[in-house]
Structure 1
Amino acid sequence: MRENHFEDGKYWVSPYNFLPEVRNNLALPPQVQIHDATLRDGEQTPGVVFSVDDKLAIASKLSEVGVQRIEAGMPAVSPQDAEAIKKISGLGLESKIFTFARAMKKDIDMALECGAHGVVIEVPIGYPKLVTQFGWTWEDVFKKSREVINYARECGLYAVFFPYDTTRARAEDLENLCKAVMNESPPDSIGIVDTMGCATPEAIKYMVRWVKEMTDGLPVEIHTHNDFGMGVATELAAVTAGAEVVHSCANGLGERTGNAAMEELMISLDLLYGYETGFKLDKLPELAELVSGISNIPIARNKPVLGHGNFIRESGIGIQYVMHDPLVMFGTHPALTGRAGEVVLGKKSGKSSILYKLEELGIEAVADEKISDILGAVKDKGIAKKDILSDEEFVEIVRDIVD
């Protein structure tokens, strides 16, 4: 695990992340794996449908980026889903392939038929769901889970026990369920699932420690949604309390406001917490473009990691560093995530911006006294347009003033 806050020409983050006074209060596990659910939870985004070929393309790119586990879908949903999982399993990817399953033996059989390495066994435990949606008690959940967990492990599958809506469970229900499962059907790992994205980072840290105590240190997996804008933050909080697996979706896809964004987890684990992840961060734009095109959901210009505006500078202050010494202006070098810095023109530009853009576009022989006129026209255009100028608009301004 790295302990440096910077690497020349790559990144420069806060040194306080790595102070002993900070690190000694964390229970970071030796390694953290990403379990990506884009092909299952991501497809649950309203209006998103992945074909078999779409899923094969996304799975291949996820593995190329370095995702350790791919949740390839739920074979019980449709024959097409089962076909996609079988084909993904047959690609020979570096990533382990998991399926999503109900607490039914037939779902385990389908996972085996699809060639999966592991299975995520979903059961409800959130109190609103137990009481209103299912009319179950924790005992009902345990009875449905016990044989299925044991069967999955007997069949050689890695069994993740996934009591969803965990963060809205009654304490006694979750405690009773965990203890009963550990006594009669211990899984390989257990999920803490913030289905409604409604737990704070502090609550998640508490729950990770608590669940580990109740399950004799069983590996904990964290799966969150982003309803309060804290999906990534709560998963990272779980890691600081000892969670070994974080669940994600590429581009932050998922139901409602989406799941924890895979790319944000990757760069945070690597640069902010110092894990030697091996993730190919420079491949993230390729994956993002693929998923965005297939899902028909554009990436916001200011989205962390992926937004095309992340390394754009409009203000004239410090623009000389954008291209030549970007770590002065950004926490990461644009090239680290396959990007390049860019200087654009608009209302907030300065004289240095004009000079830079003239040089970039190869426009010569502009008299010094004309620069202020060009800058004024650029600002006026930016104000009228309420946006940045295109290169064509800038060239037109220069021609009008110089000619």
Structure 2
Amino acid sequence: MFRFILLVLLGTIVTVNCERHSLTYIYTALSKPVGLPGIHEFTAMGLLDNKMIDYFDNDNQKKVPKQDWMKEKLPADYWEKGTHSRCSKQQWFKVNIDILIKRMNQSDDDIHVLQWLHGCVGETQSDGSLKFVHGMDMYNYDGNDFLSFDDDNQVWVAPVQAAEPTKRKWDDVQVLKEYTKGYLEKECMDWLSKFVTYGQKQLESSSPPTVFVYATPARVESNVVLRCMATGFYPKDIILHIKRNGRILEKADGVETTGIRPNEDDTYQRRDFVEILKSDKSDYTCQVIHKESRLNIEKHWDHKVEEEGGSNGMTIGIIIGILAVVVVVVVVVGVLVWRHKKQQQAAAPLYPAAAAAPLIPAAAADHLNPAAAAAPLIPAAAADHLYPAAVAAPLIAGAGSKESLGTKSDSGVSSDGSDHNVPTEKSSLQASGSDDQSLNSV
């Protein structure tokens, strides 16, 4: 799970380019609040080509646009229905985390994490249309892959013993498997195509980096740390070199890097640094090449050392501070995973009979009765109308998503903007009086 979170936070899910696009929805739920700023008990977000396009958390209780074009192009009822859908899924996650805790004979005193990721990836064709490449529907629980959908064979894959009852339950519902496959290959792709069209201008735009070269005191008094920083660039592919008298310094010379990290405004930053002698009078430069924005710049270090509290140091500190929430999330997740591993080592049998009831799909949350906490878990996707998205495995960052897609309209695209919904064991979908497909619990 730690690896998964890093992939999501650092934006390494799918590379944005002119040939492939992705739509992904990620849900993360904690069994109880952790009491840390910026860490919510439940969050859900949609990403188009790794850029956040919408967001929801349990404190704000509202699905909101994160891109101007989403706000401009989608009507008010899209956001209203989307808010309702995510509120339903929030309840679904709460119920299913409780079920999993009991199933695995775990303590209510510890924090547990349930995640769900779903989406799709499409490839641009010569006529400008998008062709389905692959879809994904995955669950993760406490840092372990829990359940995933094999789109080609239309079966659920359970990598752990505790997920096998849910796999059997969901595999027995043919209409659910057909719905999941249809959502990934058709409905998700319809929304992906629509969103790519809406946001095309922004997806094709590039932002050049702002470059800083500066030095700060090292732990060794006779040394300084020379730093080269590029920030505010998009897309994220970039080349950065620290040079000494024209020679590119390598890892063997002591160069270290933070790698590419996300900023809050959907741009990226990268910092490389090397420790050198304060007395070294060589010509040090920082070269940054960002091909998408056609920037190739080389800045010289002025041999000044920024003391703590200096104006430049303060500016850099503010920029770096943007990553604070990311660091907190990673640390929290790391602690949760570590704690879970320790628990497993001392825990009773992994799958106690007391909690043998199959999980309920997350998609079924909209029609989930909170009182039925002991009922079989329903897939998260079914939260709106029941679908096996309830038993999670750490969401895996990937492309497409079955979200924001309520029931299908005449055009084949959901018109309500809610997360994708799932059918029940009944052979046909039932109408609920709204655009959403009404489903019963599994």
Superposition TM-score, scaled by structure 2 size: 0.21
Structure whose CA Rg is larger: 1
More strand by share: 2
Higher RCO structure, 1 or 2 (CA under 8 Å, sep 6+): 2
Superposition TM-score, scaled by structure 1 size: 0.22
